Structure 1
């Protein structure tokens, strides 16, 4: 991942975006082409969902890193437009990963964002793994795709929560 960090830095990303990108890449994995994700969307490289992509396309490692950098910048803009509180670097990276994975609409309408903007930093972090679903009757966080719970999302949400809590608790200690 150090190589990825240096490539993202070479594309002009700052420290927080690089950290977020490395965290995202760890959970998305790198596929040098297109694939069908768990909900059937054509996806490429580090989880880019792009309707213009066709299954069977191939991308170079540099093209995949460029896609990731472009996507991270877009998600950063969308995230910072709706978050009304100053975030620690850890909170920022956790929320950037979450935003990247669930999309801007889900993030904007989340209880997590409402709690975060109300200043309930710790509760917002906990929402990453304990968000409740009325339709499923569960409080397991955003760990389902295509109607089934995915072990990779369980791990990702736990790691996002833990990273987020590091930042939230250090912020409250100051």
Structure 2
């Protein structure tokens, strides 16, 4: 799946904001890959979720969240993901590649990322092979999901990007 023109423009303009800024734009808001939802819902795995993929015991069922609340939750949720990914990746990456890993780890969890073949390949210097591993992570609850396939294709494109012209 290709990036929407609106999301692509935002990602290119975010290059100066660094990987965390790119990941925030990629994941958040109406154009984000997560697809912002203002009221809590159960995701495909049955987990209560709100906004841009936020999960946790702090979700208030039936509450209508605001954009400001969703932005804050995403920013807060991405900080430990960033720290974990940055600590585990031992090879140099550009900001788009790093943002792709933040998005991936945000979705699958940092524990799964830390044990992944993707990380092993990346740290062994096989960046292309590592990015291709994203295509394997398209299942939730044992079922292959089109939404996850689309997301992984976009993350893979960012992971393989040498720069803004490649997304």
Under TM normalisation by the shorter chain, which class is it?
0.7 to 0.9
Shift of 1:36: 0.8
**Bigger CA drift: 101-110 or 45-54?**
45-54
Aligned to 1:150: 145
Aligned to 2:3: none
Aligned to 2:93: 87
Aligned to 1:132: none
Aligned to 1:167: 162
Contact 1:33 1:58 in 2 (8 A): yes
Aligned to 1:126: 132
Aligned to 1:138: none
Aligned to 1:61: 67
1:96 aligns with 2:131: no
Contact 1:35 1:44 in 2 (8 A): yes
Shift of 1:51: 2.4
With normalisation by structure 1, the TM-score equals 0.79
Which structure has more RCO (C-alpha within 8 Å, separation ≥ 6)? 2
Shift of 1:16: 2.0
Contact 2:85 2:105 in 1 (8 A): yes
Contact 2:96 2:159 in 1 (8 A): yes
Stretches of structure 1 that go unaligned for 5 or more consecutive residues are 130-140
Instruction: Write out per-residue CA displacement over residues 29-54 of structure 1, whole angstroms, 9 at most, x where no aligned residue.
Output: 11112111111111111001112324
Shift of 1:58: 2.4
* Aligned residue-pair number: 150
Stretches of structure 2 that go unaligned for 5 or more consecutive residues are 1-5
Aligned to 1:27: 33
With normalisation by structure 2, the TM-score equals 0.82
Structure 1 segments of 4+ aligned residues over 6 angstroms from their partners:
none
In the alignment, the residues of structure 2 paired with residue 67 and residue 21 of structure 1 have an alpha-carbon distance, to the nearest angstrom, of 11
Shift of 1:122: 1.0
